[in-house]
Amino acid sequence: MNGRLLLHAGLPKTGTKALQAWLFEHQQELAATGISYAPQLVDPAKKHAFLVRELRTGPLDRTRIALADAAPTVVLSNEGLSNHVDDFRPELLAEFRALSQARSITVLAVTRERDTWLRSYYNQCVLNPPNGASELWGTSLRFDEYVHQPRVLRLLDHRALLDTMTRAYGAARTIWLRYESNWFEAILEELGVPWLGSLPPRRTNESLPDWAIEFVRQLNERATPEPERMAWQTRLERFNTAVARATSSPDGPLVPVDFAVIASVRRSPAFATGDWREALDAFEASLAGEVVPA
């Protein structure tokens, strides 16, 4: 073996974005100890998005570059390695294993308490654009329908999922960490750089509240065109940030939307009474300064 390959496979909604940002931001400190995060290959989200694209459709061009890195330890991170492991073509996985056979492979996965994870992943499924990458992106399913979907059940079966990833990527070891534990410190220990624990990752996601998720779900149910769907989502994110920080919403142009949508959402049972109705009222009031399109 000529070194190590550590595959950080998620799971989604277990601090992946925070860890990916940390690995990218501290690439120089890591490089000084012989660890490469292959920073030249990360996407704007600071993860190795190419892994999922190439393992689904090929060719493994960028994967080949990453695996040829001269560093003793290479770290590649993409939560899609768990989320999409069943979507990858067997012949491309076989090619991946052949390309990486000179390295000892470790799959690292972080899991989260079931109910908390289910809600967080549901929010992601609702908010993500329906781009075909997953049958759940841009879902209009209600939560009680979503929890029975095959992909969700697969991600909840941690032991079977880890076994599948071990075989798929040709791993010699699999490390299973709990999100509720000191997972970040455990990763630094595995990398052999525990002293970098004084530079913890920053939380990167501001979650939308449940009422806002339901608002977007209803947009999905209506098959709202993507530009308008994203425009509504941006408005909700701005409003949520303003409420959380007790500030006015940031300025800036927004794509026009059909404001009649709010009246329609208001008529739905989910917003009939209670806190969600009050939140919707406050959100609508925050948009009062916008010009309603003719």
For residue 204, report the phi and psi dihedrals to the nearest 5 degrees: -110, -20
- Closest by CA to 28, choosing from 16, 37, 20, is 37
| Residue 47 near residue 65 (C-beta atoms within 8 A) | no
Where in the chain are the domains?
4-198, 210-286
pLDDT-derived band at 294 (thresholds 50, 70, 90) equals very low
The per-residue pLDDT for range 158-201, each reduced to its tens digit, is: 999 999 999 999 999 999 999 999 999 999 999 999 999 888 89
pLDDT in tens, 85-112: 999 999 999 999 999 999 999 999 999 9
Radius of gyration of the chain (CA): 21
Domain 4-198, CATH number (from 2.60.40, 1.10.3470, 1.10.10, 3.40.50): 3.40.50
The pLDDT score that the predictor gives to residue 241 is 87
pTM of the model as a whole = 0.93
Q: What percentage of the chain reaches a pLDDT higher than 90?
A: 85
Count the neighbouring beta carbons within 10 Å of the beta carbon of residue 158: 16
Question: Which DSSP letter does residue 257 get?
Answer: -
Locate 192 and state its tokens. Answer: 């052999």
